[in-house]
Structure 1
Amino acid sequence: MAVNGYGVIGKRVADAVARQEDMELAGVSDINADWRSRMVTQKGFRLYSAASEHNDAMRDSGLDVTGALDDLLSVAEIVVDCTPKHVAARNVEIYREKGIKFIVQGGEKHAVTGHSFVAEASYESALDRDSTRVVSCNTTSIVRTLTALKPAGLLHRARGTLLRRATDPWESHLGGIMNTLVPEPEIPSHQGPDARSVDPELDVITMAVKVPETLAHLHYWAVQLTRPAEKEEVLEAFRSSSRIALIRMADGLTAINTVKELMADLGRPHDNLYEVALWSDMLKVEGDELFYGYMVDNQAIVIPETIDAIRALVGKVRDPKESIAKTNAALGIGAVTQALGGQ
Structure 2
Amino acid sequence: MKKIAVIGYGVIGKRIADAIVKQNDMTLVGVCDVVSDWRIQNAVNKGYAIYASTPEAEKEMNACGISVKGRIAELLTKVDLVVDCTPKKVAAKNVQAYKERGIKFIVQGGEKHEVTRHSFSAENNYQSALNLDATRVVSCNTTSILRTLTALKKAGLLDYARGTLLRRATDPWESHLGGIMNTMVPEREIPSHQGPDAQSVDPDLNVITSAIKVPQTLSHLHYWNIKMTKAACKEEVLEAFRTSSRIRLIQYDQGLVSNNTIKEMFLDMGRPWGDMYEVALWEDMLKVQGDELFYAYVVDNQAIVIPETIDAIRALTGIEPSAEQSIIRTNKSLGIN
**Equivalent residue in structure 1 for 2:152, among 149, 152, 155:** 149
Q: Which residue of 1 aligns with 2:134?
A: 131
The alignment's TM-score, normalised by the length of structure 1, stands at 0.97
**1:177-205 deviation line (CA, Å, top 9, x unaligned):** 00000000100000000000000000000
Deviation, structure 1 residue 52: 2.1
Deviation, structure 1 residue 206: 0.1
> Which amino acid in 2 is paired with 1:158?
A
Deviation, structure 1 residue 291: 0.1
Distance 1:59 1:118 in 2: 39
Instruction: After TM superposition, list the pairs within 5 Å mapping 1:74-93 onto structure 2.
Output: 74-93=77-96
Instruction: Give the number of aligned pairs.
Output: 334
Instruction: After TM superposition, list the pairs within 5 Å mapping 1:152-163 onto structure 2.
Output: 152-163=155-166
Distance 1:41 1:54 in 2: 15
Q: Which residue of 2 aligns with 1:243?
A: 246
Deviation, structure 1 residue 173: 0.3
Do residues 34 (structure 1) and 40 (structure 2) align?
no
> Which amino acid in 2 is paired with 1:136?
S
> Which amino acid in 1 is paired with 2:330?
T
- 3-state secondary structure, aligned to 1:24: strand
Distance 1:276 1:253 in 2: 14
Do residues 261 (structure 1) and 264 (structure 2) align?
yes
Q: Which residue of 2 aligns with 1:339?
A: none
Q: Which residue of 1 aligns with 2:309?
A: 306
> Which amino acid in 2 is paired with 1:275?
E
Distance 2:27 2:44 in 1: 16
Distance 1:317 1:87 in 2: 29
Deviation, structure 1 residue 21: 1.2
Deviation, structure 1 residue 53: 2.4
> Which amino acid in 2 is paired with 1:333?
I
Q: Which residue of 1 aligns with 2:189?
A: 186
> Which amino acid in 2 is paired with 1:68?
R
Distance 1:91 1:278 in 2: 37
Q: Which residue of 2 aligns with 1:217?
A: 220
Name whichever of 51-60 and 197-206 sits farther off: 51-60
Distance 1:97 1:286 in 2: 55
**1:46-90 deviation line (CA, Å, top 9, x unaligned):** 000012221111110111111100111111110000000000000
- 3-state secondary structure, aligned to 1:25: strand
Q: Which residue of 2 aligns with 1:14?
A: 17
Name whichever of 17-26 and 280-289 sits farther off: 17-26
Q: Which residue of 2 aligns with 1:340?
A: none
> Which amino acid in 1 is paired with 2:83?
V
Distance 1:70 1:149 in 2: 45
Q: Which residue of 2 aligns with 1:173?
A: 176
Q: Which residue of 2 aligns with 1:199?
A: 202
**1:126-177 deviation line (CA, Å, top 9, x unaligned):** 0000000000000000000000001211000000000000000000000000
The alignment's TM-score, normalised by the length of structure 2, stands at 0.99
Distance 2:16 2:238 in 1: 30
> Which amino acid in 2 is paired with 1:274?
Y
Superposed structure 1 runs of 4+ greater than 2 Å apart: none
Distance 1:266 1:30 in 2: 31
Deviation, structure 1 residue 98: 1.1
**Equivalent residue in structure 2 for 1:68, among 63, 71, 76:** 71
What percent identity do the matched residue pairs reach? 66
> Which amino acid in 2 is paired with 1:329?
K
> Which amino acid in 2 is paired with 1:208?
A
Q: Which residue of 2 aligns with 1:270?
A: 273
Q: Which residue of 2 aligns with 1:338?
A: none
Distance 1:171 1:266 in 2: 25
Distance 2:142 2:250 in 1: 20
Distance 1:72 1:38 in 2: 19
- 3-state secondary structure, aligned to 1:208: strand
> Which amino acid in 2 is paired with 1:281?
D
> Which amino acid in 1 is paired with 2:182?
N
Distance 1:23 1:234 in 2: 37
Deviation, structure 1 residue 266: 0.6
- Structure 1 gaps of 5+ residues are 335-343
**1:245-283 deviation line (CA, Å, top 9, x unaligned):** 000011111111011001100100011000000000000
- 3-state secondary structure, aligned to 1:33: coil
